[in-house]
Amino acid sequence: MTLITNHMPTEELQRLDAAHHMHPFTTGDDLAKKGARVITRAKGSTLTDSDGNDILDGMAGLWCVNIGYGRDELAEVAARQMRELPYYNTFFQTTHVPVIALAERLAELAPGDLNHVFFSNSGSEANDTNIRIVRTYWQEKGQPEKTVIISRKNAYHGSSVASSALGGMAGMHAQSGMIPDIHHIDQPNWWSEGGDMSPEDFGLERAQQLEKAILELGENRVAAFIAEPIQGAGGVIVPPSTYWPEIQRICDKYEILLIADEVICGFGRTGNWFGSQTMGIKPDMMTVAKGLSSGYAPISASIVNEDIAAVLGACEFNHGYTYSGHPVAAAVALENLRILDEEGIVTHAANELAPYLKEKFESLGDHPMVGEVKVVGMMGSLALTPDKTTRAKFAADVGTVGFMVRERCFANNLIMRHVGDRMVISPPLVITKAEIDMLSARARKALDEGYENVKAAGLFKAMS
Ligand code: PXG
């Protein structure tokens, strides 16, 4: 066995990584040739790699390190919990203190009567749980034919077989197929799909697709609608203002359960504790993960309202994971929530940082390759385009130009992701204003350099 440490030369770590480690959502052979970037430590909003570069993390890991890196309190709580009770399950009529406390805290934080919590370990598992909750709910209510869950194209709800089917990522469906009774409607992405419509009309049209789908599939068949308040992995797509009120109206009218997937939007990301509050919706269920523990430990949850809890409470719900409500993860999450609240991180981000981020990020809108710029709270995106006025796509495969800009972000020590030809950001909620200045300066430099490369490659032209 090789002793592998932070002090090994980067090439050696890369070679070992390529030899044995399979990366998610990656073309392994290409990465093996190039070598993965090795991250060795992190503090606040800054990552350090094995070559000693300091990189500004404009993505908070994968949209999750809301509290920032390097909080000793979380490490201490984890160590204490591991010593006291490293593991016990919550099956067979047992419980433990961290899970009791975390469920109580989540019931307090979650809006309305979302007061009951089922724990899992990842957003994917929580969404699988949601499918089972929804179908069990309708069975128990004597309507077993209500099994269809409506979702949206370009939604992301996870990578397990069921949650990837629930999501709307065509590439994922193509590789592993679908599960029965999931139906997708179009997404409210005005920039890419709005054509000549106003954003408001387009928002309404996309929301009304839900009503059409319910009527086509049959009111008696549709169990639930699931959506992210703001699509994250799909490219930080902020729906037009008309969209959510209409969706809410339709869900209420046909009495279908509304599931808000808050995996990215939760815990301060959009300027409130939950994205549902920012978008003014009243879900019956919420999926939470990521910011719940700020990524320090894997934990997720389905939070349901009183009605669903009452129906499920009357039957045996045949579901659960070995690590549902894991004591160490629960203790870490609880401490994370305490700090987010007591240090005023969520309110400071909403009141002080978000307006500043919006101003700085929107200033990139004057760049020749940038079309719309959207910022809500502490998440944002910008659309790359060869023609702002027509909102044209590039004459290249989608994502080619986005990837070229992301490469320049990496080279300039900024983590800013691309989703197709949109660039997305979601920094830690503890980023400073000086770091926001740095983020926008590095983003501009990456855009400038990317623009030169795109022109040199003959790609700065519209798809005909
Ligand atoms: N729902 C939403 C809204 C998510 O964003 C999941 C569920 C699944 O969570 P887990 O913990 O199972 O990964 C997510 C995850 C990306 C990216 O490239 C986004 C996610 C995960 C990995 C990559 O933007 N979101």
In ligand 1, the atom with minimum distance to the C-alpha of 290 is 11
> What is the best residue among 23, 25, 63 to mutate for testing ligand 1's pocket, by most ligand atoms within 8 Å of CB?
63
Which atom, in ligand 1's list, is nearest to the CA of 125? 12
Both 421 and 348 in a single domain?
A: yes
Closest-CA residue to 224 (of 265, 165, 183) = 183
Has residue 462 been placed in a domain?
no
Question: Residue 87 C-alpha to ligand 1 middle, in angstroms?
Answer: 26
Co-location of 283 and 398 in the same domain:
no
Q: What is the pLDDT of residue 241?
A: 98
Closest C-alpha residue for ligand 1 atom 16: 233
pLDDT tens, 351-386?
Answer: 999 999 999 999 999 999 999 999 999 999 999 999
Centre of ligand 1 from the C-alpha of residue 238, in Å: 17
Residue 29 in any domain: the answer is no
Identify whether 373 is part of a domain.
yes
Question: Do 334 and 215 share a structural domain?
Answer: yes
Single residue among 295, 316, 342 that ends a domain in this structure: 342
- Is the same domain home to 158 and 296? yes
Quote the ligand 1 centre to 186 CA distance (angstroms): 20
Same domain, yes or no, for 264 and 316? yes
CA–centroid distance, residue 328 to ligand 1 (Å): 22
Same-domain pairing of 297 and 406: no
Number of domains, the chain: 2
Structure tokens at 390: 């027509």
| pLDDT computed for residue 6 by the predictor | 77
- How much is the pLDDT for 7? 79
- CA neighbor of 308 nearest in space, from 460, 459, 77, 129: 129
Give CA–CA dist 278/357, Å, rounded.
17
Per-residue confidence (pLDDT) for residue 176, from 0 to 100: 87
Q: How far apart are CA 348 and CA 353, in angstroms?
A: 7
Do residues 416 and 327 share a domain?
Answer: no
pLDDT, tens digit, 9 for 90 and up, residues 105-126? 999 999 999 999 999 999 999 9
Are residue 292 and residue 214 in the same domain, yes or no?
yes
Is residue 262 lining ligand 1, measured as CB closer than 6 Å?
A: no
CATH number (domain holding residue 150): 3.40.640.10
Mean pLDDT for each 10-residue chunk of the chain (464 residues)?
82 96 95 96 97 97 98 98 98 97 98 98 98 98 98 98 98 94 98 98 98 98 98 98 98 98 98 98 98 98 98 97 98 98 98 98 98 98 97 96 97 97 98 98 98 97 90
Look at residue 12 and tell me if it is in a domain: no
CATH number of the domain within which 408 lies? 3.90.1150.10
The reply to whether ligand 1 has any atom less than 6 angstroms from the CB of 229 is no
- The residue ranges of DSSP E strands in 21-170, in sequence order, are 39-43, 46-49, 54-57, 114-120, 148-152
Domain boundary among 342, 374, 409: 342
Range of the domain at 164: 73-342
Same domain, residue pair 123 and 218: yes
Residues 414-459 pLDDT 10s = 999 999 999 999 999 999 999 999 999 999 999 999 999 999 999 9
Exposed, middle or buried: residue 315 (CB in 10 Å: 0-12, 13-18, 19+)? exposed
Q: What is the pLDDT of residue 135?
A: 98
The last residue of a domain, from among 315, 342, 369? 342
Position 430 scores a pLDDT of 98
Q: Give the mutation target among 156, 161, 265, 288 for probing the ligand 1 site: most ligand atoms within 8 A of CB.
A: 156
